[in-house]
Amino acid sequence: MKENGVPKKHIVVIGGGFAGLNFAKNLFHNKYYAVTVVDKNNYNYFTPLLYQVATSFLEPASISYPFRKLFRNKQISFRMAALLKVDTAAKRLYLSDGGELQYDILVFAAGSRTNFFGNEALREKTYSLKGIDDALFMRNELIKTMERASLEQDPVERQRLLTIVIAGGGPTGVEVAGMLAEMRKYIMLRDYPGLKDAKGDIHVIDGAPYLLAPMSDKSHAAALRALEKLRVKVTLNTHVKGFENDEVLLSDGTVIAAKTLIWSAGVIANTFEGIDPKSIGKGNRMVTDAFNRVQGYEDVYAIGDISIQFTDKLYPNGHPQLAQPAIQHGASLAKNLLRIAAGREPKPFKYFDRGDMAIIGRQMAMADLFKHKLHLGGLLGLMSWLFIHVVSLVNYNNKIKTLYNWAVAYTTRDQALRMIFRSENRENRC
């Protein structure tokens, strides 16, 4: 592709999450670069609300949108594939669809995956939330477990089926716990009246001395009070060590009989063959300079969860692996590449912390804004949480669907999305 007879440099972006999508958005209709976004899915999705899909309060279409429609008439190309290997010397990418791509500039925005901290045996036995497929699988399995419990006559086995353990007390962990507790309180007995006297607990296990570790002391205390009010059992300063035969083993020796273990204890960056191990830092993150250039390379960049910078004085250990750093990374790198193409100096990245927030159940939310200088709870916290999440959705269609689903859930304490859809049941199989 050419602009005024001059070939455009080809930028390939690996990953279309917060970082990759915001990078691409800032290069819509640009005159210097041809841009191709590569992603294993054909849609972008809003990660912070995956748990609401998993707990049947939102449909997948409320938080996702197809790339090709997003990029329509924007001069951005899309390819649905996963990256298998990169040859940085030849500037060539090998993809899962059997094809190859040449690049002039490569941008890694491939995010992270669930971190099991070396205990990979847990991966096949637990539920995690890193994508729409994970959320739908969890939703199906939670509903199927409820159906089994409604038929189970043995009270001990029924209690095991109804007991859920959540490993990790960060935002995802407490939000999942709050949603499940609300479902148990307001929905379970409507759908399953036979479980009126059945026992079963929801546990949150975390290795830190408090919940929501990145947030303020006020939020730590508020989260604990909110979960306890919903009768969620919280165990702190403790880790999940194993999960065998429907028993969760904790680091203090406690064993919890539970059919379901949800893992939200941390993430680790995705890695790719062809990148020098010397360029990889803690958490598998690619070490980058202040301009997001990967250490040891000239034309390879990394943004979002997969990147770690030690150049920001306020974040000497790197920026948190959250949505806001990823969004700002994407915009910053795109603008810098445009500056370079125009013969101007790039600007070093500096993260602006807009704050952290979490919601527990229908009515309790907390927000720590502007580097924890302002704490909002109660109605103000809830309104802040709702506003930030709605405006962050990628399209007006998503915003309207999500607001509608939330309005229904809030006013009725119910939602009509508890259906099990299974592709393996199709009549004709390819």
Confidence band of 397 (pLDDT split at 50, 70, 90): confident
- Mind listing the pLDDT tens digit for each residue in 218-267? 999 999 999 999 999 999 999 999 999 999 999 999 999 999 999 999 89
Confidence band of 396 (pLDDT split at 50, 70, 90): confident
For residues 183 and 124, membership in a common domain is answered with yes
**pLDDT for 426:** 53
Average of per-residue pLDDT across 20-40: 97
Confidence band of 366 (pLDDT split at 50, 70, 90): confident
Confidence band of 28 (pLDDT split at 50, 70, 90): very high
Q: Which range of residues forms the domain containing residue 310?
A: 2-40+81-114+268-341
CATH number at residue 134: 3.50.50.100
Alpha helices in 187-249 (DSSP H): 188-191, 217-229
- Mind listing the pLDDT tens digit for each residue in 109-151? 999 999 998 888 898 899 999 999 999 999 999 999 999 999 9
For residues 157 and 292, membership in a common domain is answered with no
Residue 75 belongs to some domain of the structure = no
For residues 19 and 104, membership in a common domain is answered with yes
Count other Cβ atoms within 10 Å, centred on residue 4. 5
Structurally, the chain folds into a number of domains equal to 2
Residue 316 belongs to some domain of the structure = yes
pLDDT at residue 96 above 60?
Answer: yes
For residues 181 and 312, membership in a common domain is answered with no
For residues 286 and 377, membership in a common domain is answered with no
Q: How far is CA 350 from CA 292, 310, 318, 332, 333, in A?
A: 11, 11, 11, 9, 11
Q: How far is CA 146 from CA 76, 159, 218, 415, in A?
A: 45, 11, 35, 16
For residues 141 and 11, membership in a common domain is answered with no
How does the average pLDDT of the chain come out, rounded?
Answer: 91
In the 8-state DSSP scheme, what is residue 293? B
Residue 68 belongs to some domain of the structure = no
| Torsion of Cα atoms, 422 then 425 then 427 then 430, to 10° | 80
Of the chain, the percentage scoring pLDDT greater than 70 comes to 94
Residue 18 · residue 26 · CB < 8 Å: no
Count other Cβ atoms within 10 Å, centred on residue 203. 21
